[in-house]
Amino acid sequence: MKPGFQAAGLAVLVVAACNFPGLGSRRPTFEDVMATISAVTPVATRTLPPTASPDPASIPREPRRPFPSAEPPGVPYSYSTRAGDTLEALTLRFQANPTTVESSALHPGAGFMPIGTQLRFPNVLESVSPGGDLLPDAEVVYSPAAADFDVYAFVEAAGGTLAHYSEALEDGTLLGGAAIVQRVADENSVNPRLLLAILEWRSGWVYGSLPDADAVRYPIGFRLSGRSGLYPELTVAATQLNLGYYGWRAGTMVETRAGTGETIRWNPTLNAGTVAVLRLSVLLEESAWLEAIVGRRGFRAVYEAMFADAWIREAAAGPLLPDHLVQPSLELPFAVGERWSLTAGPHNAWSYGTPRGALDFSPMTGGKPCDVSPAWVTASAPGVVVRAADNAVALDLDGDGRESTGWVLLYYHLAAEGMIPPWVRVETGDPLGHPSCEGGRATGKHVHLARKYNGEWLAADGPVPFVLGGWTAVADARNYYGSLVRGGDVVTSDSGGGRGSMIWR
């Protein structure tokens, strides 16, 4: 098993009260909880023809190391690069000058660093959290490690509150508990296993019955005004996980402030998935965050009892972001000869917390700002439509029928009327739907276009640049600003559709 969090002598954390089969009115012990969780076996979901995966039993398990602590200042950090690392982000995490990093093979150019590169950083950090990984990145992102996980079958087999729960969303749509988990996972590209484990850890919804009405209103415990209910609370949790994950990935979020006023700087050797979960725990538990995560009755114990060894799944799935990753050829998302406007440069791929990975394009067809345009948004590459709902289309470019594997393009704000159905194979230039203001907040008809690889949102101006029809995205310091550049030509984003923002195929 991968080195992970271990804690001895931590305070006991009380598990949420639940009623388990065969226990009557007796309050369940932790052993009851663990036994019930362990008895559930997830069922694989229906997908298009599956791809072969290594046998998890053939992957060696590493023993856990003792719970480590940070080295004192002056003792250099030794670090082996992981998938998705860049030298820029690492120097921000270690608070180091690139010239002070010791390595025999520093990555010379753009892109991700080769996995396994050995680095030594000077230790100038005064106080950091303990080290040791809690979860692999693949268990936080909706990655290949969750490609065959069936949320509906798992929830039904667990038989708790979630299996019998339903909730009306703001638009009036009535969704069951499993459907809500699946929707939040799809929208935010957060692993559904993680969402289920957080829900069970916080309120016992997956296996037990609700102890009181407060758990119905706030099952995770954020208690934000106007954000009560399962869908809002899970969405807030997913957003905070993404803030930690992608902030750590970029080196822009290296510490978290708890409600107590304490600031925790994360150990620079941690992986992005661990920082995401730890940051969420700090926000929820404040002073008791470490006990809540690694205590005998904490998050890690619940997660492992529900889903066994996450590191075996990660090893079978392979690295999320290979160091040789190159974007496939993509076209602009509209027909040849049409004139559109780049109305927004790089901004959040989905919601707040995701990297600035999206571009917005608006057709120059006139009419009122939010009239559905007669123009078509078109496929930027061949692929299979694996999701088409709630004004969003997910186009799977490797054609295996899984949104969590390989390259996927997300098109958003497509009008419900005329939108392509799921499970249709398309070619470059095939129509997907009409740009509109439908879905989320929008001030004018447009299409929002973003990329994922193995479930991870990618920055438009990052190690793997967003290139459409030979035009390369260039970010500005400000969200929604930026440009597309091709040779000596520059198209500058303009929310009003000014002349300098005009682009065509």
- What is the residue-wise DSSP string for 460-477? TTSSS--EETTEEEEE-S
Identify the band that residue 20 occupies on the pLDDT scale cut at 50, 70 and 90: very low
- pLDDT for 108 equals 56
On the CB side of 149, CA atoms within 13 Å amount to: 30
Per-residue model confidence as pLDDT tens digits over 328-338: 999 999 999 99
Q: Which residue, among 81, 143, 161, has the nearest Cα to 115 in the 3D structure?
A: 81
Q: Which residue, among 383, 414, 419, has the nearest Cα to 399 in the 3D structure?
A: 383
Assess whether pLDDT exceeds 90 at residue 57: no
Assess whether pLDDT exceeds 70 at residue 63: no
1 or 406: which leads in pLDDT? 406
Q: State whether residue 196 is helix, strand or coil.
A: helix
Q: What is the mean pLDDT of residues 97-116?
A: 76
* Mean pLDDT over the full length of the chain: 85
Per-residue model confidence as pLDDT tens digits over 373-390: 999 999 999 999 999 999
On the CB side of 142, CA atoms within 13 Å amount to: 26
- pLDDT for 248 equals 98
Is the model's pTM score more than 0.75? yes
CB 61 within 8 A of CB 122: no
Q: Name the range with the highest mean pLDDT among 35-39, 43-47, 75-79, 386-390.
A: 386-390
Q: State whether residue 383 is helix, strand or coil.
A: strand
- pLDDT for 71 equals 52
Q: What is the mean pLDDT of residues 104-108?
A: 61
Q: What is the mean pLDDT of residues 99-122?
A: 79
CB 16 within 8 A of CB 299: no
Q: What is the number of other CB atoms lying within 10 angstroms of the CB of residue 326? A: 10
Q: Compute φ and ψ for 450, nearest 5 degrees.
A: -140, 165
Assess whether pLDDT exceeds 90 at residue 106: no
- pLDDT for 146 equals 97
- If you search the block for the tokens 């439509």, which residue do you land on? 385
- pLDDT for 211 equals 65
Assess whether pLDDT exceeds 90 at residue 76: no
- If you search the block for the tokens 């667990």, which residue do you land on? 158
Considering only 28-42, 133-147, 246-260, 309-323, which range has the smallest mean pLDDT? 28-42
Sign, Cα dihedral of 161, 149, 462, 274? positive
- If you search the block for the tokens 């093979």, which residue do you land on? 105
Q: Where are the beta strands (DSSP E) in 28-154?
A: 77-80, 118-121
Considering only 38-42, 285-289, 427-431, which range has the smallest mean pLDDT? 38-42
Per-residue model confidence as pLDDT tens digits over 364-374: 988 899 999 99
Whole-Å CA distances, 357 to 121, 352, 460, 479 = 30, 11, 4, 10
Assess whether pLDDT exceeds 70 at residue 103: yes
Percent of the chain with pLDDT strictly greater than 70: 84
Domain boundaries, the chain: 30-39+132-317, 77-121, 339-504
Assess whether pLDDT exceeds 90 at residue 110: no
Q: State whether residue 6 is helix, strand or coil.
A: coil
Percent of the chain with pLDDT strictly greater than 90: 70
Long-range contacts of range 230-233, CB-CB < 8 Å, 24 or more positions apart?
230/165, 230/167, 230/177, 230/180, 230/205, 231/167, 231/169, 231/175, 231/180, 231/183, 231/184
- pLDDT for 233 equals 96
Q: How far apart are CA 100 and CA 152, in angstroms?
A: 51
Question: Does the domain made of 339-504 have the CATH classification 3.20.20.150?
Answer: no
- pLDDT for 105 equals 67
Contacts with 349 (C-beta within 8 Å, 6 or more apart), sequence order: 355, 356, 357, 358, 410, 450, 451, 452, 457, 458
Per-residue model confidence as pLDDT tens digits over 118-138: 999 988 888 898 888 999 999
- pLDDT for 67 equals 38
31 or 175: which leads in pLDDT? 175
Per-residue model confidence as pLDDT tens digits over 217-241: 999 999 998 899 999 999 999 999 9
Length of the chain measured in residues:
505
DSSP 219-288: SSS---TT--SHHHHHHHHHHHHHHHHHHHHHTS--EEE-TTS-EEEPPTT--HHHHHHHHHHHHHHGGG
Identify the band that residue 74 occupies on the pLDDT scale cut at 50, 70 and 90: low
Q: How far apart are CA 91 and CA 269, in angstroms?
A: 12
CB 401 within 8 A of CB 386: yes
Per-residue model confidence as pLDDT tens digits over 466-493: 999 999 999 999 999 999 999 999 999 9
